[in-house]
Every structure is written in C-alpha cells, then in structure tokens.
A = this chain, B = another copy of it.
C-alpha cells in the first residue's frame, strides 16, 4: 500500500476519512503513558503535523514507539478519524508503526525555541523547524509565482552568464574567478600576471547583473526575464546584504518607463496573491509569530494602486517635513533608507514609485530625459523595507549612450555589442531588477537576509 503525503490528508481530508492510510514522517513530539501515546509526525509536505494515536493493546512494538525520539522517522498504518471537537481536524489511529530511521539523543533541534542565530549554525537542519519550513516553502512558491507570472505573458526566460569576461556591468565590487595556481602565477615579460594562461584566456569575474545581456534578448523576443544568482564582493555586514543572492530582471522592448512601472506593480501583486492563496498556513504563522501586521500590510498592497512621484517631488516632500533626518536632503543627493522609508511608510503608507532621478546618481544606461538633468529611472519603495525594485527605461539613442559612457569614464570598446543593439533596430525598451531575497523578506516578515537564504554567503561566511 502506497503512502499518502500529509499535504493530501490535510487538503483533501474527506476523501480519506474513516479509511486506512499509510503515512511516513519524522517525529516532532511524542508523549505516552503505559496504555497509549500520541506522536506527531511531519513529512515536510505540509506545514502542520499529523497526530497519531497508538495504543499498547494493538501496537506490537509499543515500547519502541513510546521511546521514539524527536527526528526519528516512522511509517504509520492506521485509520484516519475526523476529530471535529479537537484542535486538529483529524488524527490517525495506528494499527502498525515501523521505525524507518532512528535519531541520536543529541539532536540539536529539540522542542524548545532556538535563536535565529543558533539556527544559522545548523543550516543543514533548520528547514525542519517551523520557521524555516515556512520560509523555504514560501521561497520556493515565490520563485514559481515569478516564473508563472512571466511565462503566462509569453516572456522568454533567459540564463545570462554567471562568469563574465566583461568589466562592463559596473554595479558593484566583483569576485574574481580563476584556475591559475596562485602559488605559481604566470607572468608576462613586464612582470604582470599573464591572464592569457587563465582558463578563459583573460580575467573573469562573477556577474553582478544580467541586464545588459538580457537587453540583447529583449531586442529579439520583445519580452524576456532573467532569474539567477548574482554576486557582490562588498564587505558590508548588514541584515539586508548577502554576497550571493538571486535576482529577477525583466526587460521589455517597445516599452517605456510607464509600461515598466505597470509591469512591476502587477508582478508584485501577483506574487503576493499567489502566496496568500498557496501558503495560507505559513502566512498565518508569520503573521502570528514573526510580524504581527504582516497580513494586513500585504492585503493592503494588493488592493491599492501604488503611488508615483518624481524624485524632485520626493525631495520637496522631504524638505517640507518636520522629521529630523540623519542625512540632510538636497536636490541631487541619493535618497537614503531613512528617506525612502519616511516617504513610503509615513507619507503614502503604501508602495511608491519614485522616478526621474538626477543622472549623476544613476547608471550610464538610463535614458536621459528632455530636461538634460534627470534620467528615466524608477525605484519602487515599500513600507518596512525601502527599495525593493530598481529599474529604468534604457538609453536607446546611440549618440547619447556613447556620450554617457565617456562622461562616466568607461571604455566604449568594452560595450561594442551593447552599442550594436542601438545600431540595429534599437527601439525604446525598459526593465528592472527585483532582489529575490528582498521580496521574500517582505512577504515573510523575516528581518535578516541570512534567514531567507538556504546557505547564506556573507563576508567571512561560506559554510556548508
């Protein structure tokens, strides 16, 4: 007889009521008298555990089961009985239980609460805890929701390269990738390292963004998106930064900054609705134990239009405010998290797109506006987090782009293929980047990026 996953029992209970079922799972709690016992098992397929009742008089190996420790694995045969009076909707009255795997007594995840810091040290076991079971299922569902959102609209998913030989992205500090023997570095006549002998015949790094490559695909397929790992070698030890994280970068041809904002807004709403529908148990748990206002906040987001203001308007709002900011506000400054959060949390109380930033504080590829001072950038700020999306309409005019590359002290020849896009049918196009971990933090209420990455990589930390 084939076993049934617990998710099936919980989501389709009536089908199994009164019937014999086989289930497998790991012990979460186990208590017993000399007559009967209750063991809660969980197989990871569902957030909740199932309660199994076992009685001395009909379970052959009663004593063994009564001693089964947390994390031991059991196979249970028994009848599924509805329990309308109890907290749980049903239980299983066991007729037979087999221990499929034992667990040592020093299992680190005992019933008591553990600190998130401690759980990070046992990242190989923490997905068995309630919190991380919820986090990593939601992470998986959000990833899928993102694919669904784009694929349903006929976007092409493109795997942009991880190892990059171009120094052209300019979005942050990079990790070097090499197969040279560092103890015997080959050198040229002038004493410089001879990278022609490195694996790729030149210096290579880990990518910080797939955007430039994604643009090449957008100008072929019209609608594309990336979803892959990106890297930053910045030595910043904050709760919001990791050295390895995942990013989603849609890019759309024949689209301007307004189309871009529409896409971003509908994507965020789609993801939240998907999670509210597909992970109700997990979301209830987060709302109760991690972040009390979570569900209200998310429901508020899906049912309201996002605000849209220009950078210039944002600066005016900030200057007029009574609030004391650590960083003084003047037109031209880069907005700090304190500014962003004031605008989205206190002024608008909902997500806000801020557009048209001074060109000096934005990347070379953003489209210059008519005023010659600002670019068609858009950042999405959300309550509780600040910036969650950064994007722009891209500069599609060849001469403007070359001018910006030179102005920024970059090298035109590094961008030959990117410039080609502007020579051959280079229509208007726009795109943005969504930090995947940021949206997971936002949806779960978890406040440290280390707790939404399965095995986080941060300065001085690359365990497992």
Q: In the complex, what residues of B have CB within 8 A of residue A123's CB?
A: 216
Q: Give A226 to B463 CA distance when docked, in angstroms.
A: 18
Contact check: which of B44, B180, B219 meets A222 at CB < 8 Å?
B44
Given contact pairs A144-B151, A157-B144, A221-B44, A72 touches B425 in the complex (Cβ within 8 A): yes
**B45 close to A213 (CB less than 8 A):** no
17 A-B pairs whose Cβ atoms sit less than 8 Å apart in the complex: A3-B254, A125-B220, A133-B220, A136-B217, A136-B221, A137-B221, A143-B157, A143-B159, A162-B162, A162-B206, A176-B178, A177-B177, A200-B459, A200-B462, A201-B461, A213-B454, A213-B455
Let me know if A421 is at the binding interface, CB within 8 A.
yes
Which positions 133-162 of chain A face chain B at CB distance < 8 Å?
133, 136-137, 139-141, 143-144, 147, 151, 154-162
Contact check: which of B43, B221, B428, B457 meets A163 at CB < 8 Å?
B457
Could you list which residues of chain A lie within 8 angstroms of chain B, going by C-beta atoms? Answer: 3, 5, 7, 24, 26-27, 43-45, 71-73, 100-104, 107, 123-125, 127-128, 132-133, 136-137, 139-141, 143-144, 147, 151, 154-166, 173, 175-180, 182-183, 185, 193, 199-202, 204, 206, 213, 216-217, 219-223, 228-229, 231, 233, 235, 243-244, 246, 253-254, 396, 417-418, 420-421, 423-428, 453-455, 457, 459-464
**B200 close to A100 (CB less than 8 A):** no
Q: Give A413 to B107 CA distance when docked, in angstroms.
A: 18
What is the chain B residue whose CB lies nearest that of A129? Answer: B220
Q: In the complex, what residues of B have CB within 8 A of residue A177's CB?
A: 175-177, 206
Given contact pairs A26-B425, A396-B101, A127 touches B221 in the complex (Cβ within 8 A): yes
CB distance from A265 to the nearest CB of B (A): 17
Q: In the complex, what residues of B have CB within 8 A of residue A453's CB?
A: 159
